[in-house]
Structure 1
Amino acid sequence: MGSLIQNAIWGRQKTKPFVSTWKTDNISTGSSTATQVKLPLLSSGTYNFVVDWGDSSTSSITIWNQAAVTHTYSVAGTYTITIKGVCTGWQFNNTGDRLKFLSVSQWGSFKLGINLSNYFYGCNNLNLSGVTDILDLTEVLTLRNMFRGCTALTTVGRINEWNMSSINDLFGMFNGATAFNQPLNSFLTPSVTTIAFMFAGTAFNQDIGGWNTYNITDTQSMFSGATAFNNGGSASIGSWTTSAVTNMSSMFSQATNFNQPIGSWTTSAVTNMSSMFQSATAFNQPIGSWNVSKVQNLSQTFKGCSAFNQNINTWDTSLVTNMFGTFNDCWLFNQPLNLWNTTNVTNMAQMFYVAKVFNQNVGNFNMSKVTLIDSMFQSAVAFNNGGSPDINNWNINTTITGTFSMYQMFMSCALFNQNIGAWNVSKVTNTSNMFQLATNFNNGGSSDINNWNTSSVTNMSGMLQSTKFNQPLNLWNTSNVTSFYLMFSSASVFNQNIGAWNVSKAVNFSSMFLQSSAFNNGGSSDINNWQLSTIGTINMESMFYSAASFNQPINSWNTSVVTNMHYMFYNTAVFNQNIGSWNISNVTGLLNFMGNKTPVTFSTVNLDAIYNGWSSRPVKTPITTVFGTAKYTAASSAGRAILTGAPNNWMITDGGI
């Protein structure tokens, strides 16, 4: 027995020790106390070592969870811990004493473990610059997330001498190691298949163009957030063999300095390029020769790629289903896309959002499967379909089931003014803000838009706000619309008869004609025929605010469920109608109802009618309202007194008698 113990001790002594430093009072959630260190051993590990804790005490460890794995010091401080013997299996995984682990000077016989990952994940204070020997990677298959979140890590001593022959997975190896920037020119081996997230969020900027990438299948987010990366200023990365790669999503996302020629990469196996160059603000390399015939996802591929302006018209996009935000915030992009095959695309929402100079003819796009088109051209301020009317040919909604939205589709498209009256919008439910701030839009001067089948639309809020639109809309079916909020606000020339509209489900008319300076319902009194809802509540706040031309009778409106009439006729220069018959029994808000009215702009007859009519029915109390300086006569004094007296206690401002 004595000889066995001697041999065991001799075996431990004969191997080089694993030497590291720890600071006990770097405590965190889940760590040991400020005077302790707990080794991150695993149930799957193999252990037979003696640990010198650096305070003249030692422990013999053979089981991962024995009590001696946690050591208590008499005084908090920084200690050198030396492990002699077999120590296979080590994982912080962003827990435990990760912040206490400061450095390694010698790996010795230490081994990471088989089929593990996250070895030093979360060791924010780890410094490996002083390592003097080579880490034994025998039987190790993966270095996944090995140094993830090691924010103090700048270099790893002798890392380029590691034997990587068995490694197949480098996923996230330095992910979030924000200071890491070490030459790794001889690091990669042919057995590696994934380098996804490897340098994400690091300071890495070294030439790795010589890597053998023949078997790499996944480069997702490899340099995402690596703002310094530009391959060390070398174009050699363009020679990478990428024929096996299937996923390049977010590969250079937020790699704001990257701009190397990669146009010769083989991309024939890639299926996902979503966000590949998102916010890669310096990138502008020719990649038009790429084979993207298997790509299904181009969502946000060039989003925020503010320098990019290369011709990619010959890309085979026949399998692409997602083009969400593809050129979102591509400020300089203005290349033809007329050859793109969009037969299978279902999502084009935000595709050209804030593509400031884009103005190409996309009239040949096949839109038959598109169900998401919100904000497609929002703030594409130069877009007018290249001056071509072809966009009217879009075969919208021909094969899809269900409904979809055109929310903010052309919002702030300052130059857009094409005829799109032939579009099939029968399944569209939301046209809110569709042309808002598209200041030149008048449907190309055509009245065809009146033929739109709007029977499914429920929301028209802000649809034509601040446009020069003035086409007839009397044929529109608005029977399902619930909101007209801001619909014609600041539509400076609109003056069409919309009296035939069915507004029976509408609950929000707020600011509908606010500052719509020309609107007078086309000179027709038909608007008086509107049949308002009699259930729920209706909002008419600021409905005709500064509608300088409006003066049509609306006395027949049933306002019995209206609750808000704040500023409804404020600054309406010519409105002078009798609305004394209105039922305002549920109105709680009448602030500045007719502010700025004068005896010239609102007659005593009509103010008398208001006081006499409204006082004859129940009203909410108390109410504050304004009729400017408009005057009433003795004929309505009694009615006014009913409103201002108890129990109603209204506060009314007017011009008196």
Structure 2
Amino acid sequence: HASNANRAFSNATAFNQDIGSWDVSKVTDMSRMFYNAHAFNQDISSWNVSKVSTMSCMFYNAHAFNQDISSWNVSKVSTMSYMFYNAHAFNQDIGSWDISSLTNAAGMFKGTAMTVDNMDNTLRGWAKLDTAAGESAIQSNITWGIANYTDATARQYLIDTYHWTINGGVFDGNKTIKGGHDADTLHTTATKTTLHGLGGNDTLTGGTTDDILVGGAGNDTLTGAGGRDIFDYGFKNAGNDTITDFTLGNTKTNTNADIIDLSDLLIGYSATSHLSDFVTAAADGGAHTKLTINHNGTGSGNSVTIILKNVAYTTDLLTNLIANGNLVLEAIKPTLMITGSGGANTAANTITFNFSAAIKDGSFTVDDIGITNGTINSGSFTKVSETQYTVMVTPSLGGKHSNVGITVAANTFTDVVGNTNTTIAKNTTKISNLKDQIDINTDLTHWDVSHASDAQKAFFNATTFNQNIGSWDVSQVTNMSHMFLSATAFNQNIGGWDVSKVTDMSYMLHAATVFNQNIGGWDVSKVTDMSYMLSSASAFNQDIGNWDVSKVTTMVWMFWDAKAFNQDIGNWDVSSLTNAIHMFKDTSMTLNNMDSTLRGWAKLDTTAGESAIQNNVGWSIANYTDATARQYLIDTYHWTISGGSFDGSKTIQGNNHANTLNTTAKKTTLHGLGGNDTLTGGATDDILIGGAGNDTLTGAGGRDIFDYGFKNAGNDTITDFTLGNTSINTNADILNLSDLLIGYDS
């Protein structure tokens, strides 16, 4: 068993193999393991990293990586400095990590795609010393580089309590207000605002809608003012607070009933705990109630108290607060899964829908269910258990292929996190804009979409969707534009889809940041628009060199910001192409692949079926050395080629005038370009490309290659061509016409 994985895949820019089953249980060093592994994006969530002590720079410049590694046991890791630096796709909540040994996390999230939500969850998780989960300590004086955030309270708690230095990231004040270390008076008139008092004895007042009030350290006075307000407590330094207008009521039925959320404050609480060890209630001055909270249930350490003004104490008050959802002691994600069976393709069949909820809800009734193109069978709604329900539906499709939709009313299965809606459909002719219906990650494997022609925006912004839809019959679909735009979790094998009728793939996988499946076998011969198709698809790097793109007119921004993309697509038939600006901006294209693409596109290969190279095309490329191919497109077809830099480290180029170029360096390529040039190689093997004009070429020594790619080469003279068998004579020269000749074979 290896103990050191330092630099194991460092600079392996194309590596993307499944190594998720590796036994890394004895590895102690994973620093720089995937450094510059631009394409790597495999599931390694099951790795046992419990002995690892250093993860510094582990995913540095791993542009495509975005896997859920939240379950890793990192309790022995002392340094995570620059761990995800410039891992452009990385966007995961790792708030559950045990950071007991961590001493350095500088630059950790710089250049990642971390959302505010995931950064906030990580901030709050790391600021919580979860001894019940085995976490033993939070070390002091740590430097941590974060991303943009809103949870100013969690950030400040680490700074004040453990003397952390937290830099990087910007506070997002769009819907959040924060105070300072002194006594602040904060209020809002905007809708759904979060207020962070931070230090000092603060006065926080919400608006008329649902707000979140986080007093922070100090003795704070909190007023919700209107709507359903959440009074949020995450840390044991919360002090002694007063809530002036707490509204009682069942949070399922009363939209103004307020919530006190202690789920992040309480350590070790569960449904089997003794409530009185953690929270007690008592009368305060007759008309008020005082809650006393012991964050770990041991009776030691600081206690937090909350005065509920004008809420009279009764012996069953605490029980009622919990039952009605006014007091949240532990967080349970309110997910709901709906599955359907039956109802194959005829309107007469009955469909049975099954509901499986993650939380109990005794108030869920048939009235919470909505049906389209069908009716609920009378008396069929059945409560199987506190979390399991079934209902039977008879479709009314009128003999047509259409949707049978089922929705659950918002806020039916909910806690302080939010609400869940979903739709199940069968026999559909249109699968566009599904995100308007699907808000959870529903199983769509068995949908019959064989009659659908429009998939535009089907999973647009469906940020959690990642179901196996590879078996879908999409053979009738003509429009896939925006289909997976910003579907940031989607990475399923759809390489077997029949897309032969699709004409529009614009924005299809734009910002699908983890998608990296083999779609090289797709028949795209009818597609005319590939603009932005894979832009910001930061993980994508598959061989699509055999695509028939002969009808595509626009490839503008096609691979822009597809940071892992590095493929030779020189075989593409660009007969119809009129615009390709910004195509390769911010990709990983190597010089070899860019040069091969340049030369391939500049060659009008009529024997392969290419009919034309259009004039006046705009094209943005990556760094290159093949100046001759680039100049041929500019001179012959009047292309405007921008972007990319000429790499002169082993290449010399002239211009469109008569040049005299020579080299003394080893193995140099000389491009004369236009004009009647004089090119002279050095004493070793060189490549001489005269380009347009009547050129004089001298190899001078070694094995020289005189390369001809384009028909404007003119009438050249080679002054010192050395004959001989190239298999045995290392000085025998080569005249290469392979790219110049169209249709020749042996």
TM-score normalised by structure 1 residue count? 0.37
TM-score normalised by structure 2 residue count? 0.34
Higher strand share: 2
Larger Rg: 1
